[in-house]
Amino acid sequence: PTSHSADNRYVHGLDRQYVFHSWAQQGSLDPMVIASAQGCRVWDYSGREYLDFSSQLVNTNIGHQHPRVVNAIQAQAASLCTIAPAHANLARGEAAKRIIAKAADGFSKVFFTNAGADANENAIRMARLYTGRSKILSAYRSYHGNTGSAIAATGDWRRVPNEYASGHVHFFNPYLYRSEFWARDEKEECERALTHLRRVIECEGANAVAAILLETIPGTAGVLLPPKAYLQGVRKLADEFGIVLILDEVMAGFGRTGRWFAFEHYDMAPDLIVFAKGVNSGYVPAGGVIISEPISRYFDDHFFVGGLTYSGHPLAMAAIVATLDAMEEEGIVENADNVGNGPLAEGLKRLAECHPIIGDWRGVGVFHALELVSDPVRKTPLPGTEVLKLKQLLMEQGLLVFTVENRIHVVPPCIVTPEEVEEGLAILERVFEGYTASLQ
């Protein structure tokens, strides 16, 4: 499937000589070369094939090179490549109309951005303007992006060296497997996490808090499915104190959990929904904020002090329209539900039962994490070097996964078939078996 005259060596060499990478010490990099991709598979220049159960950065929900999206981008490029955000544009209007149709009742407008970080940035700005307050509460176990406020709102280690924006406060979100609250079951974890959040709001001064920002299901932090009552409780706290609730659906949204939005699992809704990734599977960078009716109405007669040259870029918008139409007509979200909660979840559960190295398995739809431990009783995290070894072994067998700290995230595209799931699970089984045997 390659039509390039380039080869792995040339492309690797170009990269190492000229490309500066994200989140990395530049000298020690050995990036994998990818030449082409189709559906759930990618190839290098030698024709070596990999099953992509990482969805790259958990964004290719529709799989690679969906012909309908590729055609839509080509057609848009032929008619109008770019136009300023102040103009009315057909692709932008159609994209916004489709996104509003997928959101819960009560959402009325979409503000488009270039990706997830600047979408969070603008959701935070809207909440501050709307409430006249400044503080943003967000969870330690979270990632919200790599711009000023988005990285300061992030809870994980990437925040610490980048904390330039002010007005950010963090709290612990529920994570029963490693409870911060000494909880013995989900009910206790939920109640204690809500009491903790209430105390943080009170101590920070409720009148100073503009927004609570949460990933509906924290993704990079470990696919930490919150108890249903937790998100409902957060909604109640936000209402009680007049705080805007922002749910970051950048990773969990647009099919990943087997629903259009992850919050649909929780019988509640936020005031602002932040999206990116799956909205057009990253074929052209795009993100945005879906704005509920009251906040939207507020800006009818209040100036919104924010904007981007490429807000609602026609190529990205055409990709959104085609992606959402294809997902709808081809039942791609239903597929993520059926295959993800069926054979994929069943297979991962079996794998976790057979291999003590898997301390915990969590997931929904095509959004799963295997938490690896060297001691299942003490829950000692498997060292990162061992996780990388496992990742390498999986790659040698032709499987790409997303690894973070002591976890393997199994996050295939929403179009994954039962046969591909069987193939991926067989590789995971073989690698875990071989790895465990090598330790004896």
Binding site for ligand PLP (CB under 6 A): 57, 115-117, 120, 143-145, 215, 219-220, 248, 250-251, 276, 287
Instruction: Output helix, strand, coil percentages for the chain, rounded to the nearest 5.
Output: 45, 20, 40
- Name which of 218 and 347 has its Cβ closer to ligand PLP: 218
Residue closest to 406 by CA, chosen among 374, 438, 439, 365? 374
Distance, in Å, from the CA atom of 130 to the CA atom of 124, rounded to the nearest integer, reads 10
Q: 226-264 in b/e burial notation, b at 16+ Cβ within 10 A?
A: bbebbbebbbebbeebebbbbbbbbbbbbbbbbbbbbbb
- Name which of 215 and 420 has its Cβ closer to ligand PLP: 215
Q: Nearest distance from residue 142's CB to ligand PLP, in Å?
A: 7
Q: Nearest distance from residue 306's CB to ligand PLP, in Å?
A: 16
| Number of other residues whose CB lies within 10 A of the CB of residue 410 | 28
Distance, in Å, from the CA atom of 66 to the CA atom of 329, rounded to the nearest integer, reads 13
Q: Nearest distance from residue 380's CB to ligand PLP, in Å?
A: 27
Alpha-carbon separation of residue 425 from 51, 101, 304, 334 (angstroms): 11, 35, 49, 21
- Name which of 63 and 287 has its Cβ closer to ligand PLP: 287
Q: Nearest distance from residue 13's CB to ligand PLP, in Å?
A: 27
- Name which of 155 and 227 has its Cβ closer to ligand PLP: 155
Q: Nearest distance from residue 138's CB to ligand PLP, in Å?
A: 11
Strand partners, 358: 372
3-state secondary structure of 248: strand
- Name which of 237 and 246 has its Cβ closer to ligand PLP: 246
Q: Nearest distance from residue 253's CB to ligand PLP, in Å?
A: 9
Residue facing ligand PLP at closest CB distance:
116
- Name which of 225 and 352 has its Cβ closer to ligand PLP: 225
